[in-house]
Structure 1
Amino acid sequence: MRPVLLVAAQRTSTALLLARAAARRGLETYTLTGPHTLAALTGRPVHWYGGPLTADRVAGPAGLGLLEPPDDWLVRLPREFTARRIELTTLARAWTLPRPAFVKPPGDKSFPAAVYADGSRLPRTGERLGPDTPVLVGEVVHFAAEYRLFLLDRAVAAGSRYAVHGVLDVAPLAGERYERQVRRFAGRLLAAAGDLLPSAVTVDVGLLREPGTGRGRWAVVEANMPWFSHSYAAPPDAVLDVVLRAAGPLGRVSPADRPFLRPERPERPERSVGRE
């Protein structure tokens, strides 16, 4: 049966680009507007692009296997690839932070990833948050330039610059001034830690400026799910290849990728926070 790209009702520029790329290769695109949408797709191979909270609700009925990087991936990386202190902890512990820190949820964007002056500025217990919510706490650093890489089978399938000095500044990776350095760093990263990631994943990397020296150092910013990552200026057809692998029929997930399947989560109301 003809495969389907299912997208969230809240359409984004990336979803529109992926829908056009999907049409070029014979996939139909459906917008999720309610239970009747899933009912109409019964028995068809479905792929997903959209938010993780909605994905948790539709994964079972749609038969989806959703790949995501482990919560502790950044923590497990050798320091040469992070260039800063990073800890995986709980929101309750993060509330006690006495100093500025960069704090983010590992994957579901349940609150904004940002530099918080101290733990008291972090969100408190709410409908979607609790003391045991996992968070990544990192040393505050400054990235001079940041790039999004869509990785497939331990290779860069597509990429884009998305920020310069923390300000949105989008440009294609191809021909960009740091393209060779980005690809070289990604190659070293994947050679050293590629087995810690699923076969389809999004990894952001950036150039850190060392204060007072003018020198730069490449480091990993974070890893994300391709099925909820903005493509920026990356080629949509190549991005679609990564999305289709990362969010497709559960029965097609390879044994090597099964440890990276997103576990079932209780239903929660959806709200998009921060960048895709």
Structure 2
Amino acid sequence: MPRRTLHLPPWPTPTVTALAAAATARGMRVHTFRDRRVPEEHRRDPGAGLYAGPAFADVVAPDLGLGLLEAPEGWLPALPYELTGRRIELMPLAQARQLRVPAFMKPPNDKSFPARVYPDGSRLPGRDAVEDDVPVLVSDIVTFTAEFRLYVLDGEVVTGSRYAVRGVRDVVPLAADPRAAGVREFAARLFAPGVPALPRAVVVDVGTVDEGLGGEGWAVVEANAAWASGHYACDADRALDVVLRAARAVTAPEDVPFLRPYPSVVR
């Protein structure tokens, strides 16, 4: 079996540093790109893994020979209301620009424009900046009282972290939050039979929602690609397991529906 190599982008981040340390402790090789060119010795490497943002990954992953797993663009709006706590629609950017009510709007799987509450669709980027057919998730505005990041492998939460309280960054390991058991119980509902499927290796954000009169309910925030997600206070070694499964050269048939599309994907 080939020795595994974790490929990393040129810029350091806390997650890049943590994953590099975890990979080194396992005896893996760690390769940091100098630019977006894949050295010849790393092309089509059967032992390659990757952690990088979407724009960088789209350039280097084909030459590395990697398939990248991510949630389908329509996953979040396909969920039942009892899991989302809000109405969510997927529509082209051109349609979203016509909305004249406040809404939270974001691209499903990239950062082509900022994810935030927009007073109306006229405040979205114009067609000179972002093309009309770019998909947009449009949702009701809700208040998340606490938000949690979960690394999930084969439907099991392997590590987690709280990352925000009432929209303010507040990072602690999942086990340090009194709602940890509730987080895991709610996350299990996302992988129950009949719920729209996610990749076998994925990051899911969930949170508590303010329901008024001091009450809170659980809701999904979003799903993210493990190979591009910050780990906050998650255990880096357990997070690495999910990252390596979400970006690798060998793709199982059940992974094909979740492959990020680009030429030269290994199947």
Question: Into which bin does the TM-score normalised by the smaller protein fall?
Answer: over 0.9
Matched residue, 1:146: 147
Matched residue, 1:107: 109
Write the distance in 1 (CA, Å) between the matches of 2:261 and 2:152.
22
Cα RMSD (Å) of the superposition?
A: 1.4
Matched residue, 1:270: none
Matched residue, 2:226: 226
Write the distance in 2 (CA, Å) between the matches of 1:146 and 1:120.
29
Aligned residue type for 1:238? R
Aligned residue type for 2:219? A
The answer to whether the aligner puts 1:246 opposite 2:253 as a matched pair is no
The answer to whether the aligner puts 1:96 opposite 2:90 as a matched pair is no
Normalized against structure 2, the TM-score is what? Answer: 0.94
The answer to whether the aligner puts 1:62 opposite 2:60 as a matched pair is no
Write the distance in 2 (CA, Å) between the matches of 1:27 and 1:151.
22
Aligned residue type for 2:125? P
Given that 2:150 and 2:205 are in contact with CA atoms closer than 8 Å, whether structure 1 keeps it comes out as yes
Matched residue, 2:120: 118
Cα distance per residue 1:216-235 (max 9 Å; x no partner): 10000000101110000000
Normalized against structure 1, the TM-score is what? Answer: 0.91
Write the distance in 2 (CA, Å) between the matches of 1:118 and 1:95.
8
Matched residue, 2:259: 261
Given that 2:79 and 2:195 are in contact with CA atoms closer than 8 Å, whether structure 1 keeps it comes out as no
Matched residue, 1:27: 28
SS state at 1:210 partner = strand
Given that 2:191 and 2:197 are in contact with CA atoms closer than 8 Å, whether structure 1 keeps it comes out as no
Write the distance in 2 (CA, Å) between the matches of 1:76 and 1:194.
9
Write the distance in 2 (CA, Å) between the matches of 1:195 and 1:13.
32
SS state at 2:191 partner = helix
Write the distance in 1 (CA, Å) between the matches of 2:195 and 2:76.
12
Q: Which runs of 5+ in 2 are unaligned?
A: none
Matched residue, 1:271: none
Given that 1:38 and 1:62 are in contact with CA atoms closer than 8 Å, whether structure 2 keeps it comes out as no
Identity level (%): 50
Aligned residue type for 1:74? L
Aligned residue type for 2:244? L
Cα distance per residue 1:156-185 (max 9 Å; x no partner): 011000000001100100131110110110
How far residue 120 of structure 1 moved from its aligned partner, in angstroms, is 1.2
How far residue 258 of structure 1 moved from its aligned partner, in angstroms, is 1.2
Aligned residues: 261
Aligned residue type for 2:71? P
Cα distance per residue 1:121-159 (max 9 Å; x no partner): 1111245x2000001000000000000011000010110
Q: Structure 1's 37 and 111: CA in aligned 2 closer, same or farther, altered over 3 A?
A: same
Greater Cα shift, 38-47 or 115-124: 38-47
Cα distance per residue 1:33-89 (max 9 Å; x no partner): 136543231353211101111111112111011000000001111111001000000
Write the distance in 2 (CA, Å) between the matches of 1:35 and 1:176.
39
Matched residue, 1:11: 12
Write the distance in 2 (CA, Å) between the matches of 1:38 and 1:185.
43
How far residue 94 of structure 1 moved from its aligned partner, in angstroms, is 0.9
